[in-house]
């Protein structure tokens, strides 16, 4: 059954909105978790704790993207856009990450949805990259602040 362009756009918009909200909530949880540990990042054992926070944030982001990919895969399988859930998950992963091997494609009935998942994935992956860079910068600033390097003024002349 062929889906109209309007139907595809409506479903794609709903999915993009859903994954953006999921991403916002996930990043909020990661921010809250890193805030709880910020005081402990300024100590003698700071390097180990910093590494653990960065590993935790990395895994958190990976899980968040995984949930978003699985959400799209579930939709593809539910609407019959792919013959199996394995195909849906494979297609969703390749599309979300904009790899797009082309060995598995959606029918004309759903190809707009697939294209919009690719655009959505690029935006969410970029958002995560910016988030991760900001966390690294924040940890670096805490380290410099603790060591006294930040805020030091040069001696008067």
The answer to which of 29-38, 49-58, 145-154 has the lowest mean pLDDT is 145-154
Return the pLDDT at 154: 47
Q: Which position has the token pair 């609407």? A: 79
**Which two tokens mark 142?**
């805490």
Closest CA to 96 of 75, 125, 74: 125
The pLDDT tens digits for 89-116 are 999 999 999 998 889 999 888 999 999 9
Q: Whole-model pTM?
A: 0.84
% of the chain at pLDDT higher than 70 = 83
Confidence class of residue 148 from pLDDT cuts 50, 70 and 90? Answer: low
The C-alpha angle 134, 68, 35, rounded to 5 degrees, equals: 30
Sketch the domain layout of the chain as residue ranges. Answer: 5-147
pLDDT at residue 29 greater than cutoff 50: yes
Return the pLDDT at 156: 54
Rounded distance, CA 56 to CA 120, Å?
Answer: 24
Return the pLDDT at 79: 94
Q: What is the mean pLDDT of residues 6-35?
A: 95
Rounded distance, CA 74 to CA 94, Å?
Answer: 15
Q: What is the mean pLDDT of residues 146-152?
A: 54
Return the pLDDT at 72: 98
The pLDDT tens digits for 114-144 are 999 999 999 999 999 999 999 999 888 876 6
């Amino acid at each position: 059954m062929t889906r109209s362009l309007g139907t595809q756009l409506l479903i794609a918009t709903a999915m993009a909105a859903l994954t953006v909200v999921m991403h916002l909530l996930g990043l909020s949880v990661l921010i809250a978790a890193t805030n709880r540990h910020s005081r402990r990042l300024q100590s003698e054992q700071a390097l180990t704790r910093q590494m653990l926070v960065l590993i935790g944030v990395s895994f958190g982001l990976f899980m968040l993207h995984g949930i978003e990919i699985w959400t799209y895969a579930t939709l593809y399988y539910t609407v019959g856009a792919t013959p199996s859930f394995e195909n849906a998950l494979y297609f969703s992963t390749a599309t979300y990450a904009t790899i797009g091997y082309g060995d598995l494609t959606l029918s004309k009935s759903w190809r707009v949805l697939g294209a919009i998942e690719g655009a959505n994935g690029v935006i969410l992956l970029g958002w995560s990259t910016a988030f991760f860079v900001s966390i690294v910068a924040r940890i670096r600033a805490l380290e410099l602040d603790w060591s006294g390097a930040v805020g030091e003024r040069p001696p008067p002349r």
